[in-house]
Structure 1
Amino acid sequence: MTVLGIVRDRLIQPANNGVTTLRDGQIVQGKILKIFPNNRAEIQIGAHKLVAEITTPLSVGRGYFFQVQAADKLVQLKVIGEPLKQENSQNIVHLLTQLGIKGTKLNSQFMHALMNDKVSFTEEQLQQAVQMLEKAPSKTDAMQVLKEMIANRLPMTNTIFQALSSNQHTTISPLLHQLITELRQLPHLQDSQQKLLTLLESIVERPLSSELQLVKQMFDAPQQRETIFTLLKMAGIVDINQQVSRLNNAVGQFLQANRNHISVEQFWNSFIGREIYKESSMSQTVEQPINSLKTNFQHTTGQNIGEKEVGQFSSERSNQILQTFSTIVVNAREIQAIAAKIIGLFHHPLKTNTISSEQLATWRNMIMDELIPLLPTITKEKIRPLFQQNKMENNTQLIQLLQMMANKETYKIAQDVLLTETKEHNSLYEPLQRQFIIHINNYVQSIGLLDESQLKMHFSSILEQGETIVNHKQPETVKSLLLQMIQQENVGSNERVHQLLHFINGMQLQSVQESNNFLHAALQIPGEKLGLHKDIFMQFEGKKTEKDQIDPDYCRILFVLHLHHLQETIIDMHIQKRIISVTIFNDIHDLTYNNTDLKETLAHNLNKLHYHLSTITWKPLHVPEQNETIKQPKKDLNNQKERFDFFI
């Protein structure tokens, strides 16, 4: 079972511990405490006692199954069958028979689960549940989902059952990646499919720096590879003397060695370290991105670099590209015209090596006087060495640069990079907390969790203002695009499309639950965009405010994370009168010691929000076996994941 499933099990408990309100048609188990005149009796149902009107002679101290027939000022209960026997299994089979349901072992197990968790139900709910239970492939999972549907009074439909079932054993990211892979493999994408692919990629993929955008484009559009490579030369990212053949060889070897997982970051950092600075041949094992960036920085500056500076160095390279491309795009028309003129005058004699000394001098002077002044500063610096010696190799490099500058496609690529960078607001280099907030807001909107809510608000606004409903276009989300694809005949049977749609519906059904004066909210977020291996799960619970929101002064927040070094980690925050106590569950390290600076930073930042940090406590995530200390490494933590609900 996933973390989501465990916490969901815990979520439904507060709503079902005992019976607070009886609804017409419900079937409950009760015990007669006292008999009063006028067919009245005091009955205990769960942890609650109530006075009800009875229509059948009953015995004090005996238990019965009752069916609620009315829930006005005085509850009316109808007795079902005979008094309960000590053997609970006999009672359950007898009740099933009374309701016209087969007393099979499976149905009895389901009824037993409902009774144990004190989940009241109606005859109609039970009949619909056993029908879906019979058809379900996994009976155990189906029982859990059906029990949740009854407990939360959800419609007993197959659609809702599939929605909740899809959330049992997976998280959102694997489903998104599976659909992305299938869409990319299609030979031709329809409009809705292309929009869906773009949205999915924006949800799960980390924002790429400018250079990595270009590298990704090299993989996606091989026909543009040479142009992109030359643009990177102009930006000073790639050595001006490097040949595109070396890039093609590197790409081929990388694809062969990494067929299952292509990382443009891993490829590019490795290529920079090996091809540009000639550390070693591509036949050696590909280094990790961090190590390659360190080596790159050392070659470039002669200084050492730590992991904290890696992001800054990558940012500087991206800024260098953006500055170069900005100048190229601004001067695009003049650069293109002059490059085309020079090529037209001297291309043939240069290509056939029949150019005279006078022509060669004129050719070089035109480049120096007319073209170079229009180019970015870094490009001028990289091109000037090519004029120092009259070598065939240098002339060839200059010809390739001129051809690239005369091509319209060059400026379109540069402009696309600038537009993408503007659209992303350079979020890759934002502080982590800012990235986190941006990611949550974009994800909740893009995936479609708010679709129905926004539509309801729109129609409510129209009705209040008395306006006629006009063509209202909702923002396109993953959910709305999935619905469009299902309606199209050629993709309507796509299993991944249906599976993801059910999962999103399941998240919506489980996102907010209410019980008495409390609210329970849960949110699952793709973690890859924030650099995590697995998805993030957050749970909020607390008292309701007058606006039906969680009271920030009295609440509890649970974070379930899977971190690179700390692995599975649960952070449990209790807030009472804006005083916060934090419990960290982790099997690897006791995070409360030797972290004074981090504690002070956390306390300081919470004070800015008018909260006070009280305590930070560490506890192991899993229960250690006998004769096993907490600090001993576990061979397989995954086999014990179902046990940490004991601590939550």
Structure 2
Amino acid sequence: MQKNGITKALQAVRIKSNQHTTRSFKEGQIVTGKVQKFLPQNKAMIQMGGQRLVAQLEHLLKANKRYVFQVKQAFPFVKLQVVSDKPVKNQKESASILLQEMGVKGTKNQHAFLSFLLDHQLPFQKQRLTQAFSLLERGSSFEESRMVLLEMMQRNLPMTKKVFDITYARLFRPISLSKTANTLIQSLPSTHSNETIQLQNILRLFQSNGREFTTKDVAAYSLTDIQKGSFQTFNLLKRSGLLDKDITFSKWQSDWSSWVKENKVNLNQAFTDLQQKHISLKNSPLPFESMDEFYQAIKQVWNEPTAKGHSQMQRALSFWLLQGAANTPLFAESEKISIKLKGFTTLMSSTSGMNTNLPADSYTSLTDLLKIVNSQADGKAAYKQPIQQLLQVFSGMQLQANDHNEWAQFSVQLPGETFGLHDDFFMDFEGKKKDNNELNTDYCRVMFYLQLHQLNETVIDMNVQNKQISLTIYNQNPKILQPIVKLLEPALRENLGELHFPLTSIQIKDFEKNTGYQGTPRMAPAYNQEKGLDVKI
């Protein structure tokens, strides 16, 4: 199986599961269905893929015949309109009827694309289909263009050339975060601004053997806070109990200002001065002496649910916990994985949209730091290219995020090296949201794509329903994988049980036998929006 960015493998699982999931409808959506049998009171049983619906008939239709419908109303009940009274034998005929109704003659590729959508029961609307047709020849091949357009349609992305190109690059021209980060670190200038050093500090988290931080690094971030009028490090130290709760920010700022004056530290290059000059922190306002003491204290903050919802607190907390998880034995392996997944996602998301009334954030996101350092470089700087490459990756991730009233969806590319992998891996999340707009992890679907050294491509499909977890693992060699899973299953069940997420099942499936064609639609919803459908035709 050939590696291809997020790869066909991950998308193939989505298509297959979409065919076996109870569908929800959207206004304007095109569907096909077969009239199975008539029922009393002018009703009939309609078969739509793997779903049966009882519908009221207002048009004269024939039993055991398939028709093309358009959703005219999705709520509070679904109302369907027959596109053509003429029955269809297959999806090729359905495609022809739709193109004729749209007034489009249709090229060979347009027919093939539309037939694929219908055959795999993938939802679409006529307006979006017309826009997709205009981009169908933009890829290197029809198959590649089809995969890109499916991704765009199912994620409800704008049907523009720019979005097509970004999505195409993400699927077929993947950029390694770990390797590009290493290249950027090596090419950054030796004369460092505070922003350049902050950028290096985050990029080193992408490496398996990154630099171990010291108390001078915490002091440097504290001084950067003071320069920007930011409360981030101060609030984190108070929240952790390392700073006395009665100490005010003004007192903290005054103490550091006196220390800076006494030790002749330039705030504009605080990171460089503290690392290169022989300056002791013995009499500084820093309230701890070792990094283990610091990590142990902020680890307690991580375990407080209220801290995780605070966006600025989360960014500072994630940054330091990523350092601690990589360099100290204070964290269990399960804690390290959780910290890395949450931490990298937090640090890579842009801070540009945050509340501008809040103090400047000294823990600037990786995306914004890349833009700042890029603006400081001259046109010929060697590090501009890797900066542009990383920004392209993050732009693609931001583009893939969908936030709706009841549910959210996003895709993340994570540096594989820090997780002990040779290649980056990808995570897709989709699930319900709580009333407070936070993600509801009790009802969600998470898919991981891994390129493993020995087992090659592997997709882990995790479904969570009412905190109960079912896992499906796809691999080319399930017989090799089965004894490994059997060995690890008891520990997995125990660890998930302690988190009150019982594991109900683990299935191991062969890729080729269980996924069929490898395409790229959005994963099926993790919950059914329609309960007890009443359908009117």
TM-score by length of 1: 0.48
Check conservation: 2:177, 2:414, Cα contact below 8 A.
Answer: no
Check conservation: 2:447, 2:460, Cα contact below 8 A.
Answer: yes
- Shift of the 125–491 alpha-carbon distance from structure 1 to 2, 3 Å rule, reads farther
For 1:236, the equivalent position in structure 2 comes to: none
Distance 1:542 1:498 in 2: 31
Q: Read off the aligned partner of 2:397 and give its amino acid letter.
A: M
The CA deviation at 1:526 is 0.9
SS of alignment partner, residue 122 of structure 2:
coil
Q: Per-residue CA shift, 1:475-508, capped at 9, x if unaligned? A: 532333456688899599x776555444324434
Check conservation: 2:15, 2:120, Cα contact below 8 A.
Answer: no
Q: Per-residue CA shift, 1:569-627, capped at 9, x if unaligned? A: 6667787887878787667966748998x77766665565456778988x686779xxx
1:108 lines up with 2:9 in the alignment: no
The CA deviation at 1:178 is 3.4
TM-score by length of 2: 0.56
Check conservation: 1:566, 1:588, Cα contact below 8 A.
Answer: no
Structure 2: gaps of 5 or more residues: 214-262, 264-271, 292-319, 520-537
For 1:503, the equivalent position in structure 2 comes to: 393
For 1:529, the equivalent position in structure 2 comes to: 418
Q: Read off the aligned partner of 1:429 and give its amino acid letter.
A: T
1:428 lines up with 2:316 in the alignment: no
- Shift of the 498–16 alpha-carbon distance from structure 1 to 2, 3 Å rule, reads farther
Structure 1: gaps of 5 or more residues: 212-332, 334-407, 459-468, 625-639, 644-648
RMSD: 5.7
Check conservation: 1:62, 1:83, Cα contact below 8 A.
Answer: no
1:164 lines up with 2:167 in the alignment: yes
The CA deviation at 1:130 is 0.8
Q: Which has the larger radius of gyration?
A: 1
Check conservation: 2:138, 2:145, Cα contact below 8 A.
Answer: no
Q: Read off the aligned partner of 1:444 and give its amino acid letter.
A: T
The CA deviation at 1:101 is 2.9
- Report which stretch shifted further, 45-54 or 180-189: 180-189
For 1:444, the equivalent position in structure 2 comes to: 345
For 1:26, the equivalent position in structure 2 comes to: 29
Distance 2:187 2:42 in 1: 72
The CA deviation at 1:30 is 3.7
For 1:637, the equivalent position in structure 2 comes to: none
- Shift of the 417–83 alpha-carbon distance from structure 1 to 2, 3 Å rule, reads farther
- Shift of the 610–411 alpha-carbon distance from structure 1 to 2, 3 Å rule, reads closer
- Shift of the 59–502 alpha-carbon distance from structure 1 to 2, 3 Å rule, reads farther
- From 129, 133, 136, the equivalent of 1:130 is 133
Q: Read off the aligned partner of 1:135 and give its amino acid letter.
A: R
Q: Per-residue CA shift, 1:157-179, capped at 9, x if unaligned? A: 3444334333324656x155336
SS of alignment partner, residue 108 of structure 1:
helix
- From 47, 50, 53, the equivalent of 1:49 is 53
Higher helix share: 1
- Shift of the 498–139 alpha-carbon distance from structure 1 to 2, 3 Å rule, reads farther
1:65 lines up with 2:59 in the alignment: no
For 2:221, the equivalent position in structure 1 comes to: none
1:120 lines up with 2:19 in the alignment: no
Q: Per-residue CA shift, 1:17-76, capped at 9, x if unaligned? A: 57855444333334456899999987655434354686x765555444334445566766
For 1:358, the equivalent position in structure 2 comes to: none
Distance 1:563 1:501 in 2: 26
SS of alignment partner, residue 150 of structure 2:
helix
Check conservation: 1:119, 1:150, Cα contact below 8 A.
Answer: no
Check conservation: 1:52, 1:75, Cα contact below 8 A.
Answer: no
Q: Per-residue CA shift, 1:355-386, capped at 9, x if unaligned? A: xxxxxxxxxxxxxxxxxxxxxxxxxxxxxxxx
Check conservation: 2:212, 2:327, Cα contact below 8 A.
Answer: no
Distance 1:569 1:74 in 2: 40
Distance 2:104 2:374 in 1: 36
SS of alignment partner, residue 507 of structure 1:
helix
Distance 1:129 1:37 in 2: 42
For 1:477, the equivalent position in structure 2 comes to: 365
Check conservation: 2:71, 2:78, Cα contact below 8 A.
Answer: yes
Q: Read off the aligned partner of 1:479 and give its amino acid letter.
A: T
Matched-pair identity in %: 27
Aligned length: 412
1:96 lines up with 2:99 in the alignment: yes
For 1:177, the equivalent position in structure 2 comes to: 179
For 2:242, the equivalent position in structure 1 comes to: none
- Shift of the 176–121 alpha-carbon distance from structure 1 to 2, 3 Å rule, reads same
1:48-447 alignment to 2 at 5 Å? 48-49=52-53, 51=55, 62-71=65-74, 77-81=80-84, 83-86=86-89, 88-169=91-172, 174-175=176-177, 177-178=179-180, 181=183, 184-185=186-187, 194=196, 197-198=199-200, 201-208=203-210, 412=276, 424-425=323-324, 427-430=326-329, 431=331, 433=333, 434-447=335-348
Distance 2:517 2:202 in 1: 29
SS of alignment partner, residue 149 of structure 1:
helix
